[in-house]
């Protein structure tokens, strides 16, 4: 088995959609997964942070549709979805975040600014303050991601709910998530999808084109607001998607993807034990 095939299998990559009917069926399968997961948990609430990117708006809209279906099928009005905005200071693409919320149409929206918490955690750590600006900014980015997940779990605890994650195959292969931050969740409805498939599902669900086609960014570094994911990767999403779905990519792109996958394996594994 080649590394390309091995990695795709490990990440449960979904093959390219054969046609629009296959796309629609995959979308419905994932909504059904969300519905079944919530129902089997014995809980009634789903929680997800909405950033303004295509991943969270797609997962968020599917979550909202899932709880609407549960309410209709069971007659239980307690099923609901809570969308959480978690801005750090003034987010550079806040209009996109608001547009995403308008598309998702969640049962409830909550905004919790995370800057005070991040500052309170970071300032007392002298070693962190002594780092060069770029290194400190990177470390603060991880603190932001972990604070956001703390808030989402606090909301879920308060409402007896589950936290949704937005991880998918194209980010998983590059380890592009914060360990115990946005990588911490209860269910991952986008698992196995590549970026192009997420965009296709978002379009199928009726998402605005400017959000579907927006340049993806983790937006965790204050010194580089809006830094594109692809700049951090050193390869494009088109190359990542092609690699994961068995296509041909340049030797340089393949080497970069494989090396990054291997280096980030710890993020996809359980903690080490003796």
Alpha-carbon distances of 108 from 83, 160, 183, 201, rounded to whole Å: 6, 15, 23, 23
Rounded Cα distance between 55 and 166, Å, is 6
- Burial level of 264, CB count in 10 A (0-12/13-18/19+)? middle
Say which of 55, 96, 182, 186 is annotated catalytic. 55
Q: H helices within the chain, ranges in order?
A: 3-10, 20-41, 54-74, 94-104, 115-122, 126-129, 133-159, 169-172, 195-205, 209-212, 229-233, 237-244, 251-263
Helix, strand, or coil here: 62? Answer: helix
For residue 70, count other CB atoms closer than 10 A to its CB.
Answer: 21
Strand order in the sheet with 45-49: 108-111, 80-85, 45-49, 161-163
Active site residue 55: yes
Question: Is residue 81 within 8 Å of 67, Cβ to Cβ?
Answer: yes
* Torsion sign (Cα): 15, 16, 18, 19: positive
Distances (CA, A) of 126 to 29, 117, 152: 49, 17, 28
Active site residue 262: no
Whether the CB-CB separation of 70 and 79 falls below 8 Å is answered with yes
Check 26, 96, 171, 241 and give the catalytic one.
171
Closest C-alpha among 161, 157, 200 to residue 19: 200
Query: Which of the residues are catalytic?
Result: 55, 171
């Amino acid at each position: 088995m080649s590394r390309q095939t091995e990695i795709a299998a490990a990440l449960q990559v979904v093959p390219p959609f054969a046609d629009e009917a296959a796309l629609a069926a995959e979308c419905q399968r994932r909504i059904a997964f969300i519905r079944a997961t919530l129902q089997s948990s014995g809980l009634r609430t789903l929680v997800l942070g909405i950033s303004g990117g295509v991943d969270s708006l797609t997962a968020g809209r599917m979550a909202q549709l899932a709880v609407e279906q549960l309410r209709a099928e069971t007659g239980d009005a307690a099923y609901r979805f809570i969308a959480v905005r978690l801005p750090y200071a003034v987010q550079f693409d806040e209009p996109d975040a608001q547009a995403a919320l308008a598309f998702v149409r969640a049962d409830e929206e909550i905004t919790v600014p995370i800057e005070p918490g991040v500052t309170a955690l970071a300032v007392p750590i002298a070693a962190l303050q002594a780092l060069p600006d770029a290194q400190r900014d990177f470390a603060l980015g991880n603190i932001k991601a972990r604070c956001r997940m703390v808030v989402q779990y606090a909301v879920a605890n308060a409402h007896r709910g589950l936290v949704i994650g937005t991880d998918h195959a194209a980010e998983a292969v590059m380890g592009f998530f914060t360990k115990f931050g946005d990588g911490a969740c209860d269910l991952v409805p986008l698992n196995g999808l590549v970026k192009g498939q997420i965009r296709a599902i978002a379009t199928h669900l009726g998402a605005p084109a400017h959000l579907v086609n927006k340049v993806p960014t983790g937006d965790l570094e204050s010194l580089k607001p809006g830094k594109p994911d692809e700049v951090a990767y050193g390869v494009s999403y088109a190359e990542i998607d092609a690699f994961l779905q068995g296509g041909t990519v340049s030797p340089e792109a393949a080497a970069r993807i494989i090396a990054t996958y291997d280096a980030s394996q710890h993020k996809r594994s359980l903690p080490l034990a003796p």
